Amino acid sequence: MISFYPGPSKVYPQVEQYLSEAYKSGILSVNHRSDVFMEMLQNTIGSVKRSLEIPDAYEVYFVSSATECWEIIAQSLINTSSFHIYNGAFGAKWMEYTDKIRKGAAGLEFGINEVPDMAALNIDLGHDVICVTHNETSNGTALPNSFLSDLRQRTNQIIAVDATSSMAGVLLPWQDADVWYASVQKCFGLPAGLAVMVVSPQAVARAEQVGDRHFYNSLLFTRENFLKFQTPYTPNALGIYLLGRIAEQVVPMHEMSAEILSRSREWYSFLPEHGYELLVENEAVRSATVVAVHADREKITKVKAMARQAGIQLGNGYGAWKDSSFRIANFPAISLSDISLLRNFLFSISHL
């Protein structure tokens, strides 16, 4: 079965070899305070920063999931309130969960064919953190980089970005935000169970101001450990090892990004040409890594069932579009031959 599910999705084929090498190396059995582990962690951090082209001043931590990042941000960076800009299920969930930890989370919901209106953001109302979803997995939208650049110029507040479906797939404008995070089961092409958190010096300063040390995963405690190439709790050593190996293998992110953007343009041309309706009509806000197709419930059910029979797993719709869409992952681990197979299949059933 070839998976085009937008997370967990297809892993890089080299993972099979790396799993064997991890076992043989003994890294899976070492103490996470040992020199062997610390060297491996240091190497992985370096490889990730190089491959993703992260600025030197930004720090990289590994935690369990993107969902844990919601918790870390709420506990460690927010004194009073946060402001969430969202247009889909995951952005809304981030706001709802934050409000459970720090009451006062406010938000602006915008349409899937819109770029948020800067005039309506109320970013100067004293919110500690501005939270945005760079790539909304549920509906196949993405914020243009110009929006993040404009937001950065308008506020000195901490900007936190959910980049779960775009980090390691497209080149990110790192300096336009202070916290970026993503789970590895999407564009990183790895099994679930690990997340990458990228933090600016400004975010570190805010964490020091807030001074949260009540939790095992507070940002300050996490940082203190990572500066020593250790972790605040027993880590996913296998996940960290695999991440390091993948980061060493992939091409630089500016090259990867160009390839993914090219593939996405081909998808957005192919689908309407063969009778498929795109969920996102506005080209300016279409995701490069998650392509959403819209149809009535009967057709969606039929297409997904026929795809399974052909050995292809399409992504279900999600949230408000659960029954009226399917999603196609355009992640780096998905090969050109995989894409060709899916296109041939979609062409063969385009008469439905």
Q: Residue 31 half-sphere exposure, CB side, CA atoms within 13 Å?
A: 3
Euclidean distance between CA atoms 246 and 113, whole angstroms: 34
Euclidean distance between CA atoms 87 and 161, whole angstroms: 14
Res 124: pLDDT: 63
Euclidean distance between CA atoms 86 and 329, whole angstroms: 21
Euclidean distance between CA atoms 219 and 203, whole angstroms: 9
How many residues are there in the chain? 352
The CATH-assigned architecture of domain 15-249 is 3-Layer(aba) Sandwich (3.40)
The whole-model pTM stands at: 0.96
- Burial of 32 from C-beta contacts in 10 A (0-12 / 13-18 / 19+): middle
Query: Which three-class secondary structure state does DSSP give residue 322?
Result: coil
In this structure, are residues 179 and 73 in contact, taking their beta carbons and an 8 Å threshold? yes
Q: Which two tokens stand for residue 56?
A: 């030197």
Which pairs with CB-CB distance under 8 Å and at least 24 residues apart come from 346-351?
A: 346/270, 346/271, 346/274, 346/276, 347/274, 349/303, 349/306, 350/274, 350/275, 350/276, 351/275
Bond preceding residue 8 cis, omega within 30 of 0: yes
Question: Beta strand 179-183 with 195-199: parallel, antiparallel or unpaired?
Answer: antiparallel
Q: How many CB atoms lie within 10 A of CB 23?
A: 12
Query: Which distant-in-sequence residues (6+ apart) come within 8 Å of 20 by Cβ?
Result: none
Res 86: pLDDT: 96
Q: Does domain 2-8+252-348 have CATH number 3.30.530.20?
A: no
Res 304: pLDDT: 95
Q: What does each C-alpha distance from 263 to 280, 292, 304 come to in angstroms?
A: 17, 14, 22
Res 126: pLDDT: 77
- Burial of 35 from C-beta contacts in 10 A (0-12 / 13-18 / 19+): exposed
Give, as one character, the DSSP assignment of residue 286: B
Tens place of pLDDT per residue across the chain (352 aa):
899 999 899 999 999 999 999 999 999 999 999 999 999 999 999 999 999 999 999 999 999 999 999 999 999 999 999 999 999 999 999 999 999 999 989 999 999 999 998 877 767 667 899 999 999 999 999 999 999 999 999 888 999 999 999 999 999 999 999 999 999 999 999 999 999 999 999 999 999 999 999 999 999 999 999 999 999 999 999 999 999 999 999 999 999 999 999 999 999 999 999 999 999 999 999 999 999 999 999 999 999 999 999 999 999 999 889 999 999 999 999 999 999 999 999 999 987 7
**Residue extents of the structural domains in the chain:** 2-8+252-348, 15-249
The closest of 84, 10, 348, 46 to 226, measured between CA atoms, is 46
Euclidean distance between CA atoms 340 and 49, whole angstroms: 32
Q: CA quadruple 228, 232, 234, 237: dihedral positive or negative?
A: negative
b vs e for 106-140, b when ≥16 Cβ sit within 10 Å of the residue's Cβ? ebbebebeebbeeeebebeeebbbbbbbbbbbbbb
